[in-house]
Amino acid sequence: MIIMEKHLSFYLVRLLLCGAISVALLTGCVSKNAGGANTLRRKAASGLKKIAVVPFQAVTSDDPGIRVVQCPVCGTTFRTCDFAGNPEKKIEEIFLKGIESSEQYSLIPSGYVDGVYKRVSATLFGKSPPEILTEVGKEIGADGIIAGYLFYYMERKGFGYSVERPASVAFCVHLIRVKDGVSVWKGVFDKTQSSLMENLFDILPFIKGGGKWVTTEELSREGIDEILKNFPNSKGDS
């Protein structure tokens, strides 16, 4: 009986995928957004070769009645929730692996930058986050500085093929030019996984996830892949 149920589930998933593909082809497009958004000042990013990485931070609300927060750098509003552990560290790790694979930058790891960041933050108490980040970059001798913020991290409740609550993640990453404090690139990912029945145009991430409900870490990896598609190279993009 169990074997029959597994086979039935497999064929149902295939049927849904085929139907979704047919609809996508008939409408002539598949969503490329996947919950992410990017902004990039391509020429402004040219010449940034030595980049310092500030430890990614969790940004949540201490007031249970307030479920929205702002990005410290750009002021964009995000939903937030309480989450345990330090998932921002995992997102930082995934992001840096993606940057390192390009071999275009000389990265100064967050382990080294952390001490400088804490000292400068205490010295410049009351200054804006971009001002603090810029000063940190100058002290380290970096051309650019990366700062990432995690706002929402809700694990799925259930299993790969059946959930009561899907995984949900929201984060933002900035690349700031040290010489003038300008954010030359921003990558945003804010997504709750939806089923094909809810959103037929979410088919590519669904297939990539093996046709199942993903975990928050898997959803975060999807988000990093998405935002890094438009990360600038060290020579600038045309």
Per-domain residue ranges of the chain: 32-228
Taking each helix axis as running N to C, give the angle between helix 129-140 and helix 110-123, from 0 to 180 degrees, rounded to the nearest 10: 120
Give the residue carrying structure tokens 């804010």: 190
- The answer to whether residue 162 scores a pLDDT higher than 60 is no
Nearest to 84 by CA among 54, 110, 61, 58: 58
CA distances (Å), origin 220, targets 29, 65, 170, 179, 225: 24, 26, 9, 31, 9
Architecture of domain 32-228: 3-Layer(aba) Sandwich (3.40)
The answer, as to whether pTM is greater than 0.85, is no
Question: What DSSP state is assigned to residue 201?
Answer: G
Strand partners, 193: none
Nearest to 220 by CA among 87, 69, 85: 87
Which has the minimum average pLDDT: 29-33, 100-104, 214-218, 223-227? Answer: 29-33
Strand partners, 191: 169
In the chain, what is the straight-line distance between the N-terminal and C-terminal CA atoms, in Å?
59
Task: Please report, as a single letter, which amino acid is at residue 78.
Answer: F
For 181-227, the pLDDT digits (tens) are 999 999 999 998 765 444 455 556 555 656 677 899 999 999 999 99
Decide: residue 221, CB within 10 A, 0-12 exposed, 13-18 middle, 19+ buried.
Answer: buried
List b or e across 174-189, with b for residues whose CB sees 16 or more CB atoms inside 10 angstroms.
bbbbbeebebbbbbbb
